[in-house]
Structure 1
Amino acid sequence: MSEKNSAGKRSARTRLQEERERQKARDKRRRTLIVSAAVVGVLGLAAVVGLIAANTGDKGDGSGSGPVAAPTGATGKDRLAIPVGATDAPSTLTIWEDFRCPACAQFENAARATIHQLTDSGQIKVEYHLATIIDGNMGGSGSLNAANAAACAQDSGKFVAYHDVLYQNQPPEPDDAFARDAKLFELAAKVPGLDTPAFRSCVSGGTHDGWVNKSNEAFRSGDFRGTPTVLLNGESIFPSKGDEQISIENLKKWVAEANKGKKAGTAFPSPAPASPGTPASPTSG
């Protein structure tokens, strides 16, 4: 083989290798764009579905009477909020949601890691409010039953873990699987230490049903657009904040802007489980 031909083949191999590297870089950029667009798309889709859910529900549903037994540690007006995070965090993220609502699951599953990071680092505290609008739309009682079970998990100091498991295992919207206690017990088994006789009694007895119904009434009278409703320090950020659409990066940015010059919270409460439905004096926050 002549020296000229050998050099030519080496040059061809070099060009081929360079082209492969360029293609890999293009593929990586494309995957990054697809993932980013998917996150934004998921949150945007959630907004649309949430609006439909709220606007078609029967406003008379979920207003049943019964004793109102707030879960342990509930705060706010009428003790309707389940708080998560440092009590002295500089910003508050308020979330209204329904465990049967597909839009809520899309939001939670997309934003979960970010919300946990912001909460665990003391940047925000989260106040969860539960609604039952899908029961009104689709029939059934899964929204109510799951919300009661989540409140029972709060009694055991395990609300966050069970809340996440419910959304990670949400059935299709027409399937009222959460109406079955057995399904809620099955999912509770995924949370270490939750599936106890006290939890099962709380779920089967509907200990917090009256509280859930009162929370749903507050949602109905709150003039919210749909679920999920997400507020940062009282300002709506879902599906957008001003001219900016919600995304993971924008959520981080909005929290950073709200917290500028403020110290992160450090007062993380220690869970103190009580008997389900143990009455406590009303508080506001």
Structure 2
Amino acid sequence: MARYVMVIDSEKCMDCKACVVACQQRNHVPYGLSRNWVRETVSNGSPCGFKFQPGACMHCDDPSCVRACPTGATWKAKDGVVEIDRSRCIGCGSCVEACPYHARFRHPVTGTADKCDYCRGTTPGQTPACVAVCPMHCRLFGDADDPSSDVSKALAAHKAVHVVPLNSGAKPTLTYLDATTPEELPEAPVASHPVEAMRPLAKGVTWAGGLVLAALTGTFVRQLIKSSEKEDAEIAAARESSADDRRDKEDKA
């Protein structure tokens, strides 16, 4: 099984925003919103006093957004990508609030959660739009468990740096190389008590719905059996009546 990760060399970024625009176009992101970004960060060692930090969903191990979702609409796939099942998303915004990277938003048209999914589409592992268009090749994507991949080679040749907000316990897999200067991030948000209570409530509703469905199925099957038995009885009675009529005619003859 592949383990997909993104690696970013911030030193190469020139803030052209090609990655942002390409992501918006491929994934039909509404105007004014974005699945990825390029942020300006303070850097005393830089001649101009700042550097650029590209970013997106960190596709964390043990993601806080997954824990916050009351319906199980978001999960960590076996290949390392954090995904969203929009057919199960109720648009509560719990995952949006729980993400310490502010990498999620509620889609204004569908009302469901949205974020970077590495442009999975129908082909997991395809090159994301942001990687494909970067003129400086500061973004890399691939299977970290494949020694021949560009991602594995970059990780082997450089120091890995991760952005971890205070008190978040986040375990990001999106990795920066060497001298990147991560932006100051606030402490990890905490889901409200009503939202926390939604998870067991949602599970209870699911179980109740399952029981109701099972009961309805049982009733339907019983009705089918009873209808079949009634039909068989009526057919048998009709045959018996027909036989009696024949016997009466024979006796009269």
Both structures adopt the same fold (TM-score exceeding 0.5):
no
Give 1 or 2: higher helix fraction. 1
Give 1 or 2: higher strand fraction. 2
TM-score category (smaller protein): under 0.3
User: TM-score w.r.t. structure 2 length?
Assistant: 0.27
